Amino acid sequence: MTERAIVAGVPVDTRHWIGGRRVASPGTFTTTSPVTRTALAEMSRGTALEAEAAVAAARAAFPGWAATGRAERARILHAVADGVEQRLEDLAAVETHDNGALLRSHRRGVMPRVAHNFRFFAEWLLTLGRDDFATRGHTNHISWDPAGPCVLITPWNAPLMLASWKIAPALAAGNTVVLKPAEWSPLTASLLADIAAGAGVPPGVLNVVQGYGEDLGRALVSHPGVRRISFTGSVPTARRIAAAAAPNLTPLSLELGGKSPLLVFADADLGLAADLAVEQYDNAGQVCLAATRLLVEESVAGEFTRLFTERAERLRPGDPREPGTDLGPVVDARQLERIDGFVRRALAAGARAVIGGGPGTGDSGTGESGLHYRPTLLTDVAQESEIVQEEVFGPVLTLQTFTTEEEAVGLANGTRFGLAATLVTGDRARAARVAAQLVAGTVWVNCFFVRDLRAPFGGSRDSGTGREGGGWSFDFHCDVKNTVTAPKGWRDHG
């Protein structure tokens, strides 16, 4: 196999990064661009052998990194952020080719957020602590001890941003890391390994191994030397990870899917509500937080639908590298077929497509690659139907109506998920009342996707376990310890 691929003019190493050096595997897998429908690279395909090597490297590096002072760890994380900023254009171009998301989004938001993730947790590390407190004259002192090697498994929809969201707190806490990126979008993880090495991350502290879940992933999450596992992805995969980790009692942080609601009350600013609803088509709907279930008060459903349709029909599909494109392709032909399968079954069951309802034209004149799916809104859907209950992970929304606040809350909470919810209303009392009843890790009121790294992030029910962000990330990545000291028993040595 060749050791490097050229993607958007950027050299990308196709080998693993283990113990501070590049390691090739006998087997490979192909990563293909959804933009051009062509192969981008033949990546080394890791197996249990590479999993063992990466965990061994992380274990060997752990004592030294754990003993590294907070200030030095923070300095190195800031240096990683510097490296990300210096290579922002390369990272944005490569990731757009690899997963099909908009280049302008990568440039303006995603890659700057990657750098911010490293800077945020570097700064939080320097302030981590709580005041000592007394118990009957005894002193309680809380400390955060590094836990050990961490396995971090990331999805394909926002590869580098979600990887940095996991890597930064793990390294800040003093842990070492084995990162397994998604096989559909592994390229920027390889570039990050180069950036980290250039920033002074010691060998073995960050390892990157590429491959499939059934061999590489299983070997990593079942390894007895791993002390933390953080995973973002599907519920079925999370169940397999939990089963594999259970014999070792390895703590898990799981951020899984969602089927989030967007509630629109009659007293809402309907223009704002329509804008927020159309925003759910971002990244071709491939966003776990997307509010894909529009729940609209019956008396304003007609006007809301009109405003929504006007806005949605102005979205421009095309080549995600072009600045005028609003909707890029979905990540893979299998994903396109999965999305279309959901829609076809819903239509067969009696749903009606207000807009969309199928794949794009594939017209090269519009810049479509053949992997575009038309923004779709389905009505006449039953609460118990598959299209309402299951995560589609594409540009497909449903619309249901309600007549009372109680009915709205019941519909909103009527799935097995609980990742997020969005609420649009002009009544402050209603906003507080309804938000308190929604089952969700995050509730947005008259806004969407406002994220602060100081806030907890995670899901309820089948949307996951645990919370990360700010101190919650350190609580997960550390063994939190209380040292209780008595006031007596000391020898006075003068």
Q: Which residues are catalytic?
A: 255, 288
Please state, in angstroms and rounded to a whole number, the distance separating the CA atoms of residues 411 and 401.
Answer: 9
Q: Can you list the alpha helix ranges (DSSP code H) found in 173-217?
A: 187-199
Burial 375-396 (b: 16+ CB within 10 A, else e): bbbbbbbeeebebbbebbbbbb
* CA–CA separation, 266 and 228 (whole Å): 46
Closest CA to 177 of 24, 71, 18, 45: 18
Distance CA 35, CA 96 (A): 8
The one-letter amino acid at 196: A
Collapsing DSSP to helix, strand or coil, 273 comes out as helix
Strand partners, 481: 143
How far is residue 58's CA from residue 177's CA, in Å, rounded to a whole number?
6
What is the helix (H) or strand (E) element at residue 445, kind and residue range? strand 442-445
d(CA 304, CA 307): 5
d(CA 89, CA 93): 6
Count CB neighbours of 6 within 10 A. Answer: 11
Q: Minimal CA–CA distance to 166: which of 463, 477, 450? A: 477
Q: What are the backbone angles phi and psi of residue 470, rounded to the nearest 5°? A: 55, -135
Q: What is the DSSP letter of 276?
A: H
Which residue, among 457, 451, 424, 421, has the nearest Cα to 436 in the 3D structure? 421
Query: What DSSP element (H or E) covers 345?
Result: helix 333-348
